[in-house]
Amino acid sequence: MNHAGPDSDNESSLMEHLLELRTRLLRAIAGLVIVLLALLPFANKLYAWLAAPLLDKLPAGGQLIAVQVASPFFTPLKLAFFVALVASAPWLLYQAWAFVAPGLYQREKKLALPLLASAVVLFYAGCAFAYFVVLPSVFGFLTAIKPDGVAMMTDINAYLDFVLVIFLAFGASFQLPVALVILVLLGWVTPEQLREGRGYAIVGIFILAALITPPDVVSQLLLAIPMCLLYEAGIVASRMVAPRSGDAASPS
């Protein structure tokens, strides 16, 4: 008679985890593909919407140009994929959550869901802030300071890359409160240390804003000022979730 030993149990458990991981990955990819296919017919309209902040600031008759032959085809597709990735982020994160949740403690589950939801909302807020506030201000500033006799004729692919960098910079920077809360939960810092280090943080924020934004004062200020406010929000949130002595986590 054959008896299953510890090695057999470990192999079975590993296979179950790998199968679950494959299932979650396939579901995540399927959701992303469905959203992308739904957006492809509107790729050109999406690009027209994205180009509006620049076109509104250009002189009458101003327009974008396509330097490469295939740019009018591939650039809107690239944008559609980025929009699909951002739009399907809740579904992708849910699949990741469903995979790791069974191994978390009850307290970790209660904290992880609000953190994930906050991260998604803050990323969307950062992108919206970039589109409705930052881009019009930046393009208004750049068109105002251009030398006389110089016509702004931006390539559509270069413009898309520029805007995507802005979106990613602001979307990631708006994660600051979530990052601070995680640091406090890990015990690496305390809310009191965050408050005491506020001055250093502000200096670091302005340096970071100068590094990741285009070389103009407007976009740097429009990133640094919200990040300073988000830092304060992170301090408040970290006080609410800071571990207290005597707390005990119990497995689910």
Average pLDDT over residues 136-142: 86
| pLDDT for position 6 | 57
Cβ burial of 84 (10 Å; 0-12, 13-18, 19+) is buried
Residue 154 — φ and ψ, nearest 5°? -90, 140
185-204 pLDDT per residue, tens: 888 999 999 999 999 999 99
| pTM summary value | 0.83
Residue 155 — φ and ψ, nearest 5°? -70, 140
Residue 214 has pLDDT above 90, yes or no: no
How far is the first Cα of the chain from the last one, in angstroms, to the nearest whole number? 36
The one-character DSSP state at 246 is T
32-67 pLDDT per residue, tens: 999 999 999 999 999 999 999 998 888 777 788 888
Least confident among 70-74, 142-146, 167-171: 142-146
Name the amino acid, one letter, at 232.
E
pLDDT above 90 covers what percent of the chain?
A: 50
Least confident among 92-101, 137-146, 182-191: 137-146
Side-chain-side CA neighbours of 192 within 13 Å: the count stands at: 0
- Let me know: does 175 contact 122? Beta carbons within 8 Å: yes
| pLDDT for position 212 | 78
Q: What b/e string do you get for 150-174 counting C-beta neighbours within 10 Å, with b at 16 or more?
A: eeeebbbbebbebbeebbbbbbebb
Distance, CA of 239 to CA of 111 (rounded, Å): 14
pLDDT above 70 covers what percent of the chain?
A: 90
Share the mean pLDDT of the chain: 86
225 falls in which pLDDT band (50, 70, 90)?
very high
- Higher model confidence: residue 6 or residue 241? 241
243 falls in which pLDDT band (50, 70, 90)?
low
105 falls in which pLDDT band (50, 70, 90)?
confident
Q: C-alpha distances in angstroms, 91 versus 24, 79, 96, 104?
A: 10, 19, 9, 20
| pLDDT for position 244 | 64
| pLDDT for position 251 | 42
| pLDDT for position 33 | 97
| pLDDT for position 193 | 92
Q: C-alpha distances in angstroms, 11 versus 7, 239, 244?
A: 6, 43, 39
Residue 246 zone, left/alpha/beta (φ > 0; ψ -120 to 50; rest): left
